[in-house]
Structures are given as C-alpha cells and as structure tokens.
Structure 1
Amino acid sequence: MYDTALMLARIQFGFTVSFHIIFPAITIGLASYLAVLEGCWLRSRNPVFKQLYEFWSRIFALNFGMGVVSGVVMAYEFGTNWPEFSRFAGSITGPLLTYEVLTAFFLEAGFLGVMLFGWKRVGDRLHFFATVMVALGTLVSATWILASNSWMQTPAGYEIVDNHVIPTDWMAIIFNPSFPYRLVHMVLAAFLSTALMVAASAAWHLLKGNDTAAIRKMLTMAIGMLVVTAPLQMLAGDVHGLNTLEHQPAKVAAMEGHWRNDEPGAGVPLLLFGWPDNDAETTHFAVGIPRLASLILTHSWDGTFPGLSEFAPDERPNAAAVFWSFRIMVGLGLLMFVLGIWGIWAWLRGQLFHNRTLLRFALLMGPSGLTALLAGWFTTELGRQPWVIYGLMKTADAGSNHSTSTMVFSLVLLVVVYGLVFGTGIRYLLRLISQGPDQNIDTTLSTIRPTSPSDMHPGE
C-alpha cells in the first residue's frame, strides 16, 4: 500500500503549499503597494494616499499573520513525510532556507512593528524607511525560496558523494539555470494578484455606490499596474518557457499536449483544447492552430521539439493535469490583459468609475490572479514529476514508509483545521475589505495583532 500512502503524502504537501502560497503572494504585492502609497503621500501630502495606506496595512497585517502560520506546517512535513529528500539534498536546501531566515526574516521582523504601529512614534521618513524594508524583506524571502525550488528543477553546482548531494559552487546553486525566470515570474504574479484584488475591492465599492476619492485612486492605481505588469508577465512567461524547453523538455511536451513531433517541415500546432491520454499516447479532441507552437517555442515557423513519446513512460508527467493547469494560467493571463486595456480605454473616455459592465468584470477578476498563480504552480510542480529533484531523485524515493491510514488521518485533520482556522481568517479579511477606506481609521492599528513573524515560503 506504499504507493497509496505516497500519493496521499503528495496530496497533503500539495494542499498545504497551495493554501500557503496565496498569503505570501499577497504579502509581496501589498508590501510594495504600501511602500508606493507612503512614498506618494510623502511627496504630495495628499491625505488619500495615507488613507489608503492605513486601510491596506490592516489587510497586510492579517494576511501576513496567516502566511506565517500556514507555512509552519510545511517544515514539519519535510521531516515527517519526506525524510529521504532531506537526507539526500539537505546540505543544499537546508542552507538556502537558513539564509532566508537570516536575511529576510530578520529584515521583516526588525521593521514590521515600526511599519504597523509606528505612525505616532517615529518620524514620517523613518516610517517610510521601515515600510520599504518590509517590502524589500518580502522580495528577499521570495529570492531564497525560489532559489531553493529552482535548484530542485534545474540542479547545478553539486556533486554526489555516498548518495548525498554535496555543494561545490554556491553561486551556481543559487543562480541555477531556471532561477532568474522563476523569480521574475513569481514576483510579477504576486503584483498582478494584488492589483486584481485592489481593483476588485474598488469595483465592489463603486457598484455599491461608495464613490470616494480613495476608492477611485485604488481603481486607477490597480488598472495602471495591470496595464504595465500583464504584458511584462507575458514576456517573462515566453522566456521562461524557452528555458523550460531547454532544461525540462518533457514538461513542455505535456504543457503542449504533443506526443510525436517528427514530421519534417510540418511545424507543431498550438493545441487550444484537447484531452491528453497517457495510456493511449495521444491527445483526444485536439483543436489547434497550425505551426503556432513552433513559432512560440522555437521562434521558427517549422521548428520542432520533443514529444512525450520520446521519453520513457515512467519519466513522463501527468499530461492532462499539466496541459489544463497551463491553459487555465494562460487564459486568465489574457483576461488580465483585457481588463487592463479596457480599464485604460474607459479612463481616457472618462467612464472608468461609471461603466458597470467593466466594474463587474473587475470584480469577477478579483481572485483570478491567485487562481492563475496556483495553476502556474501546478504546471511547474506536476510537470517536474516523477522527479522531486529533476534528473537526480524521484519522488517515490523521497518519502517515508507511512501507512495509508496514517496519511489519511493526517490529511483529513489538516483539511479540517485549515478550513476552520483560515476559513475564519479569510472571512474576516473579506469583511475588512468590504468596509473600505475610512478617514477615521485608528492609525495605531491596535485592533490587529499579527503572529510574530517567521520565515515565509512564497514559492515552495
């Protein structure tokens, strides 16, 4: 029954990571948004910026606390469910996570209190410095975590001695072949997720008749971020895809749903829809655009790349899961771009705050950033299978020999506890957002007492 227990261990870790990743993503985006708001307030002394800072800092504090708590469980899961992985690669992943604690954790911990409770206790510029340091800390945290995960995707700078990975070049380990692309892709995803959340909040209030200067500023800033960030994310995704094709061709084959690309000069179509079948080695009901996959992935009209049939059956990912998670991510990304362009067009025509169809669309798109982020993460992690460290260690060799009943019990317990704790937290967060900016907000933020900060894992 070990295979069943292993699958349950994978589901458990996937559940905790998926639940956790949404909070650091919002934290990364909101921290930078708060820094921009406070910088604009210092420059202009426009009270709207300070009003928005006070409002979104409450959301930030609650979200930060939930991110810290949700991340603690994963550290235990490494030891209880994946000890062979820790034994084999702990000499690399352990130090990388330690560096995250020694840099990002202490940076955030040192300035978070000043940021949240220091308005009446320190000068304006010192408070702004604290906000910038917290924002920088979230980005440093993302850097170390993405370095660790990227090394698992494209390992470099190591040698294997006595069945243990030994680091030989830390610069090669940190700046491994996929690291820059994954870091940029993740940070842009965090910014997009935050912009969409802010836009949805503003749209909700405008639809309810709460048309204030602060609400309008929220919407215009969010639309401006979408217009800039969505195209950048498309560009980052393109170069990331080329890097993945070079280092993980089986993942790209699964993303594209192609099994055989061996017809000379025919090019490879871009499949819009279909259902990849691992057993039959074909994609049923395929609907595609001729040669477009060649153009995107090889930048050549008749270029080609390996199909899934060129890889051993036990070294292929689940093609259907990767195929559809990738399309969900790309489809939502296109809708984000549409929202940004539509918003700018409406703003130029003086209709941004009154076009109810646009506002409803913005409201519906509120969770799309986080949904796309999760879909992209599923693509990355499921596409790496069956490897936990690509080309070095398979997932089946990394786990504990727990019984199926043990894994069922722990998984059900986690689902119940997470549902109660974080369901309540998310409900309260939505309630805070629904209240909207208030000029009479207590700037001491005395109603929010977040858990003491600890290391965040925005990319595990």
Structure 2
Amino acid sequence: MHFLHDALLLARLQFAFTVSFHIIFPAFTIGLASYLAVLEGLWLWTGREVYIRVFRFWVTIFAVVFGMGVVSGIVMSYQFGTNWSVFSDKAGPVIGPLMGYEVLSAFFLEAGFLGVMLFGIRKVGRGLHFFATLMVALGTFLSAFWILAANSWMQTPAGYDIAPNGQYVPADWLAVIFNPSFPYRLVHMVLAAYLTTAFVVGAVGAWHLLKDRGNAAARVMFSMAMWMAAIVAPVQIFAGDMHGLNTLEHQPAKVAAMEGHYDSHDGAPLILFGLPDNAAAETKYAVEIPKLGSLILTHSWDGHIRGLKDFPREDWPNATVIFWSFRIMVGLGLLMALLGLASLLWRWRGRLYEAPWLHRAAVAMGPSGFLAVLAGWVTTEVGRQPWTIYGLLRTSDSVSPIGLPGVATSLVAFIVVYCIVFAAGIFYLFRLMGRPPGLESPGSAPVEAPLRAATSAPVADLLAEPGTTGEKTP
C-alpha cells in the first residue's frame, strides 16, 4: 500500500506540474484576445493610428502564447488515460462530452480564425478582419466556459445518474453544465484572466514609459490597463465573496481549511495568519480579528461556521497549503485594487504618465495575475481533496494501476522538457515585450485607412490624453 501511495502522490504531482504550466497561458490569452478586439474596434471607430500599432505589438505575443497553451494542454489529455484511467472510465460519460464540446466549438473557432487575425489585415478587408478577431476572442471565452463546466461538475456534481457498471452518466445536461458552482467559477476565472492581461499590459507599458515618457503606444497600454485594474479588481473582490458563499454552502470543509478553523464557532474570528496543523487539529500562532470571519462568510456577526472537526478526518484537505494559497490570492487581489485606485488618483491629477513610482509599481505587479491564478487553482484543487469528484470518487480510487518507476520517470521527463522548451518560449516573449511599442516591423506596409475620422470618436479621449495618440510622440 505504501508503494501505491507513492505512485499516487507522484501522479498528482505530475498533473499539478503540467496544469500549472498550462493554466497561465489560457489565463493570458482569454484576456489578451478581448484586448485585441477592443484595440481593433477603437482603431476602426476613431481612426487613431496608435491603436492599430498597439494591436500589432500584442498580436504577435498572442500567437506565441496561444501556441504554448495548445502544446501544454495536449499533454494533460494524455495523462487522463495514463495516470487516471479509473477516473476517466467512471466520469468519462460526463467529462468526455464536455471536453469534446470545448474542442468542437472553442478550439476550432480559435484555430479557424487565428490565421486571418494574424495575417489577413491587408487581405480580407477591415470588417472581416475585425470579425475574425472577435471570433478568436469568443473562442477563448468558450474554451473557459466548457473547461470550467467540467471542473465545476467535479467540484459540485449535479444532473447525473450512476449506471449499473458504476459510471456516472448524464441525466440532465443543463444541470451538468450549470451545476451549482459553475456560474461563480466562470465569472471569477474570466475576471481573473482580464486582470492577468491588464497587469501584463500595464507592466509592459510602464516599462516603456520609464524609458520614454512620451511614447504614445506605451501611454495607451498603461492607461487602458489601469482603467481595467481600477474597475475590474473591485468587481473581482465582490465576485470572490459570492464564490466564497457558494463554496461555504457546497464544500464547507474546504472553507474551514481555508480559514484555518478546526472548531465550529458562532461569531468565528478571522484568522489573518497562523500555521494550521492537521495532525494537532489546531491553527498554531493564530493572529485573529474577533467575529470578522463570520461576518465575511455569512454576512452576520454571529453566523455559524463549521470547523474541520465536524467532518471525518479522512475527508480533511491539506489545511496548511490552502490556508496560505488562499491568502496569497486575496493579498494579490487587494494589491491590484490598490494600484488601480492609485492610478485613478494620479489620472485625476493629470500626472498618470509622470509618476515613475507608479510605473515601477506596475512593473513589479506584472506577474501578479499569474501568481493569483496559480494560488486560486491550488486553493480550489487541493481544497477538493481527498476527492476527485467531490463526495463521489476519491482521488486514491481514481488513479491507474501504475508503478512508481513509470510515474517517476515521466515526471522527471516532463520537468526537464518543460523547463527547456517553456524557458525558451518565455525568454522569446520577454524579447517581444521589450521592443519599443509603436515601431513598425522591418518591411511592413502601411495599414489601410480606418473607417472613421479621428475626430469622430470621443471614446478614445478616455483612454489617452490629447496629443498622445498620433504617430508622433510629443
């Protein structure tokens, strides 16, 4: 049994390693595809050349990130068969079609229009090219929709029957797809993707503003990113609160571990910091604020919060891991909101592009979206343990009958290959982002005239100051 336990641990580590690499790319492409659509739409509406220049800057980066996401995602599908065949067999009638819908709708839509978006701006006309960009953006959203439907069903299964052979089969597809946690996870993840993209774009814009404060394209990048941070980060905090209430209803043991509560409380404190210890069934060195935990989780000062001791010990998740991953996610979200609010203050003062400390802070916050997404994923997936399908199928019963040497060898191979291939890809992305924005690539031809004259759209004035949106920099 110890041998099987080690193989199970390595299988979990292998999937965690590959999905951690993969998740950062969709989180970026979902937001970046929408950003590209907004840029092209603004260019067509306003006629300001700066928007299409920013579009060109990011569309190449999108293509590289999209390719890396596809490559890293294919690997995970094979792991379902090699390492998790029991799970694949039992949940295949539900998970298989959801994955298939993702490929048939989202991936084909993305792949079908990606070439037009990348290479067709002078070949198919402005309208059709903009339509292709919109379809790529829609495809990235549909991809998130179907993947999150599958993951949410594993968290809060609904709409299924159990067949005589032990398989979980769909009884009501609408209930399967729109399971109790799906709407909250979808909103939370899509907003996280938009914030991830905003802080990357803002960091790149800020980096180039530190070098050249008058760079028009960098100003547009930074301004649009800070608008997104100021508006979406507070919305994400609200969405996260709603998601937390839903999790408390359907996965109370996960919430107890996230909050570090082992004993049940009426008027539970908020444990800011501490060291949860499952073996001792207590959170050591806890720093608490009385009653605030119940207020946040139940919106009542005296709300009842169940502790882990209310659940069988064999059903406890790893409280230490998700206690801290949750705090990392929340802490980064608060920093995002703080930077967005600071940008509003400097924008109101008319000094958004003349605050080097703000630009340096934006550069430092560039990776924050990726880190928050990873921390949120760890909280969600580790918090689901010891279940693969919550309350139905344990992780220990989901693994393939595999030996330790095979899993260990493949894990080492993944680590070596990923570190080489993706290090090269990320290095190339940094080089692309380091190019001064707004400069034409060698041999590029002029862009066709836009639909509207530059004076026809006051919308653009919200995104860039007068005198900063043309080809010339002041």
The TM-score normalised by the length of structure 1 is 0.95
- Equivalent residue for 2:87, pick from 81, 85, 93: 85
Query: Counterparts of 2:213 and 2:61 in 1: how far apart (Å)?
Result: 19
Assess, with a 3 A threshold, how the Cα gap between structure 1 residues 131 and 443 changes in structure 2: closer, same or farther. farther
* Aligned residue in 2 for 1:348: 348
Q: Is the 8 A contact 1:115 1:131 kept in 2?
A: yes
Alignment of 1:380-395 (within 5 A): 380-395=380-395
Alignment of 1:109-120 (within 5 A): 109-120=111-122
* Aligned residue in 2 for 1:326: 326
- Equivalent residue for 1:219, pick from 222, 229, 241: 222
Tell me the CA shift for residue 378 of structure 1.
Answer: 0.3
SS of structure 2 residue aligned to 1:87? helix
Tell me the CA shift for residue 359 of structure 1.
Answer: 1.1
- Equivalent residue for 2:234, pick from 231, 234, 238: 231
SS of structure 2 residue aligned to 1:272? strand
Query: Counterparts of 1:249 and 1:169 in 2: how far apart (Å)?
Result: 25
Alignment of 1:105-254 (within 5 A): 105-161=107-163, 162-209=165-212, 211-254=214-257
Query: Counterparts of 1:176 and 1:440 in 2: how far apart (Å)?
Result: 48
Query: Counterparts of 1:332 and 1:225 in 2: how far apart (Å)?
Result: 15
Tell me the CA shift for residue 353 of structure 1.
Answer: 1.4
Tell me the CA shift for residue 211 of structure 1.
Answer: 3.2
Query: Counterparts of 2:443 and 2:348 in 1: how far apart (Å)?
Result: 35
Tell me the CA shift for residue 88 of structure 1.
Answer: 0.4
Tell me the CA shift for residue 258 of structure 1.
Answer: 0.4
Q: Deviations over 1:126-166 (max 9, x none)?
A: 11011001000100111000000000000000111221111
* Aligned residue in 2 for 1:11: 13
Unaligned runs of 5+ in 1: 446-460
Query: Counterparts of 1:441 and 1:45 in 2: how far apart (Å)?
Result: 20
Aligned CA-pair RMSD: 1.2
Q: Deviations over 1:405-446 (max 9, x none)?
A: 22111111100100000100000001100113233136979x
Tell me the CA shift for residue 120 of structure 1.
Answer: 1.1
Unaligned runs of 5+ in 2: 446-474
Query: Counterparts of 2:276 and 2:407 in 1: how far apart (Å)?
Result: 30
* Aligned residue in 2 for 1:267: 267
State the percentage of identical aligned residues: 61
**Letter of the structure 1 residue corresponding to residue 15 of structure 2:** F
* Aligned residue in 2 for 1:457: none
The TM-score normalised by the length of structure 2 is 0.92
Q: Is the 8 A contact 1:325 1:375 kept in 2?
A: yes
Query: Counterparts of 1:106 and 1:76 in 2: how far apart (Å)?
Result: 20
SS of structure 1 residue aligned to 2:402? coil
Q: Is the 8 A contact 2:213 2:353 kept in 1?
A: no
Q: Is the 8 A contact 1:118 1:444 kept in 2?
A: no
Query: Counterparts of 1:439 and 1:407 in 2: how far apart (Å)?
Result: 48
Q: Is the 8 A contact 2:268 2:303 kept in 1?
A: yes
Query: Counterparts of 2:172 and 2:129 in 1: how far apart (Å)?
Result: 39
Q: Is the 8 A contact 1:258 1:308 kept in 2?
A: yes
Query: Counterparts of 2:134 and 2:357 in 1: how far apart (Å)?
Result: 36
Tell me the CA shift for residue 210 of structure 1.
Answer: 5.6
* Aligned residue in 2 for 1:75: 77
Q: Deviations over 1:313-341 (max 9, x none)?
A: 11010000010000000000000000000
**4+ residue stretches of structure 1 with deviation over 4 A?**
442-445
